[in-house]
Structure 1
Amino acid sequence: MARRTLGPCGVEVTELSFGAAGLGNLYTPITDEEAAAALDAAWDAGIRYFDTAPHYGIGLSERRLGAALRARPRETYTLSTKAGRLLEEVPGPVGDDLDHGFAVPATHRRVWDFSADGIRRSLETSLTRLGLDRVDIVYLHDPDDHAEQAFREGYPALERLRSEGVVGAIGAGMNQTAMLTRFVRDTDVDAVLCAGRYTLLDQSALAELLPAAQQRGRAVVIGGVFNSGLLADPRPGATYDYATAPRALLDRARHLKSMAERHGTTLRAAALAFPLAHPAVATVLVGARSPYEVQGAAAQFTAAVPADFWKEARAEGLLPADVPVPAPGEDPS
């Protein structure tokens, strides 16, 4: 699996990376054994960048990911987690955490905290759950409604952690582009994680975020390339950004799927290949919860997408005429 560097920091990531939200029992539960098998499959596929967060299953994702990675040589992989939500234990009895999307007991509540102390406490507790002595990257997690504190306190705290050598790279992860663009332009982040905003259906990151990152030599990690499901399987009832897809978007996705099949490829392969054509993009982050899903993603990622598919998508207005697309014969692996 080919590797790229995150901005000026020198931290390397594989071009296909593993998003561990599913290991936190996203929507439905999986067993510890199933989680371990998914991570083994990712390792066997050559994936060496893994991303998690305290939010995912109230720490369950971090515990499972740490358990799987502790047996691997630490210098052989890159690990990121996030900060901004502290987990505070609640007295029992407790219900479930499905209101936040995770099929786990609600043993803790999330407390937004982008203060300097909150960032350090978050990282310390993440390391405890992971059972590791360091992570390589820390992102401020979804600071949408906490911009003032995130920029005034949270970001400087990350900068100090980096200068102290506690972490190798710092950034922010969000589902929007405006604030990520501000991080790229106004701070010295190494990378930003942008979910859902640079896909075959949504290229809003192309307007400002990606040019700003390219200009400043910062890296962009792209998540949500399937827009939460629609580009993986465009059928009636499919989800787009975690809600039922509007009919117009469903029709657009189905048209892209039929076009891909005419050109001898798949919609999933095209969705995975598309972001990496932009020079600011370092890796595509894909969530998985089983060996089958990991193996499928890896196979689609390495599949060829003919140049004629991209040419037709541009010609039909499904992609902007000036959007970067993979070069003919380019193999992302």
Structure 2
Amino acid sequence: MSLTISTRRKVGETDLSLPVFGFGSAHLGELYAKVDEPDSRATLDAAWQAGVRYYDTAPWYGRGLSEHRVGGFLRTKTRTDFQITTKVGRTLQRPADPKAFDRSPWVGGLNFEVHFDYSYDGIMRSYEQALQRLALDTVDALIIHDLDPSFYGQEVYADHCKALIATGMKALEELKSSGDIAAYGMGINAAESLSTIAQEVDLDFALVAMPYTLIDQSSLHEGMADCLAKNTSVIIGAPFASGILATGSGSNSKYGYAAAPAEIQEKVRGIEAVCAAHKVSLQAAALQFPLAHPAVVSIIPGAAKASEVTQNVASVQTNIPDAFWSDLKTEGLIVADAPTPEHG
């Protein structure tokens, strides 16, 4: 597989095509640590200079901060030179008591309360708010964000699903048919959701955060296979599994946006051993692995420093020998029939 970050793949049956490598901006919302303005700008500058032309953000990232930062940067560029996606399903509002407001789980971010709304009106308002924060008059695609029972409990989740199916999808269909957006998708955090709600509505793509990475291929024969069968494209939103595949195993590593459990640490140490034997970086393996799946059109790793962007770009274009992937399968570290890159 010979890729550059500008290689493009078509999204479903739409007219939209995306570069295989994009920029995920959750870290600019100050997820694990504060990111000062010069570092944020330097990171975005480094991405642009490296040739990155696809950017993903969300109202949730830093409670609006990421959209402000990404949009503030991109508005200085020619609109036809880049593509941007953001999320819907949350609107932001001033908290009742700003002085006492808890911004968690964001270390920093902005002082805005989140309101979930997957109805027609909620999605339209979320879209309009996002455009204002981005200071852009268009986005290329919208993504239904965090429609997952782990966020609200089963009863509230069911209500949100009903609202989306009853009226929310109509909003997305209208925006697409009018040409406001070229495509719409759904963000997925759990393998179960990829097999259920993501298959119950017509989507152009799914943005899969955790269920398909170098660590976990539990969705390979169900949700990912369903997407392939329906020609629903997949964007991999967390190729580093929220941290550990970038940092490596260790006491401070993150997995699933929390401290990495012992069994995950052990599995990553096994992958690291195979990496060492073949002189392959863990980061390169993590970024290239999901791109081998025929449903995947793009990966969007995050970065909070210019050096991280530069390293990610180099990693995705590094040659990895076929024997590396064979050894991972032999050791039982990835699923035996998982698609893997072919470099020779």
TM-score (ref. length: structure 2):
0.91
Aligned counterparts of 2:334 and 2:96: Cα–Cα separation in 1? 51
CA distance in structure 2 between the partners assigned to 1:243 and 1:54 by the alignment: 21
| Map 1:174-193 → 2, pairs under 5 A | 174-182=188-196, 185-193=199-207
C-alpha displacement at 1:115, in angstroms?
A: 0.9
Aligned sequence identity (%): 39
**Bigger mean CA deviation after superposition, 91-100 or 39-48:** 91-100
SS in 2 for 1:234: coil
Q: What are structure 2's unaligned runs of at least 5 residues?
A: 1-5, 149-156
**SS of residue matched to 1:4:** strand
Alignment pair present for 1:198 and 2:198: no
Aligned partners of 1:242 and 1:156: how far apart in 2? 32
- The answer to whether residue 84 in structure 2 is matched with residue 69 in structure 1 is no
Answer with 154-163 or 112-121: which moved more.
Answer: 154-163
Of residues 260, 285, 292 in structure 2, which corresponds to 1:245?
260
Please report how far the alpha carbon of residue 31 of structure 1 lies from its aligned counterpart in structure 2 after TM superposition. Answer: 2.1
Give the superposition deviation at 1:151.
Answer: 2.2
What residue in structure 2 maps to residue 172 of structure 1?
186
Aligned Cα root-mean-square deviation (Å) = 1.6
Q: 1:96 to 1:46 in 2, by over 3 A?
A: farther
Correspondences of 1:101-112 after superposition (within 5 Å) = 101-106=106-111, 108-112=112-116
8 Å contact kept, 1:97–1:104: no
Q: Is the 8 A contact 2:186 2:198 kept in 1?
A: no
- List aligned pairs for 1:271-290, cutoff 5 A: 271-290=286-305
CA contact (8 A) 1:94 1:105 kept: no
Matched, 1:131 2:135: yes
Q: Secondary structure at the match of 1:156?
A: helix
Secondary structure of 2:22 counterpart: strand
3-state SS in 2 of match to 1:87: strand
Q: Deviations over 1:106-139 (max 9, x none)?
A: 2x21011111001001100110111111101100
Long gaps (5+) in structure 1: none
Q: 1:21 to 1:95 in 2, by over 3 A?
A: farther
Matched, 1:234 2:238: no
More strand by share: 1
Q: Distance in 2 between matches of 1:194 and 1:278?
A: 13
Counterpart amino acid of 2:27? G
What's the offset of the Cα at 1:156? 2.2
In the aligned structure 2, how far is the partner of 1:161 from the partner of 1:93? Answer: 34
CA distance in 1, matches of 2:196, 2:36: 40
Pair 1:223-2:237 in alignment: yes
For the Cα contact (< 8 Å) 2:64–2:110, is it kept in 1?
Answer: no
Q: State the TM-score, normalizing by the size of structure 1.
A: 0.94
**Residues of 2 paired with 1:23 and 1:166: CA distance?**
26
Given residue 277 of structure 1, which amino acid in structure 2 is its aligned partner? Answer: A
Amino acid at match of 2:194: L
- Equivalent pairs, count: 328
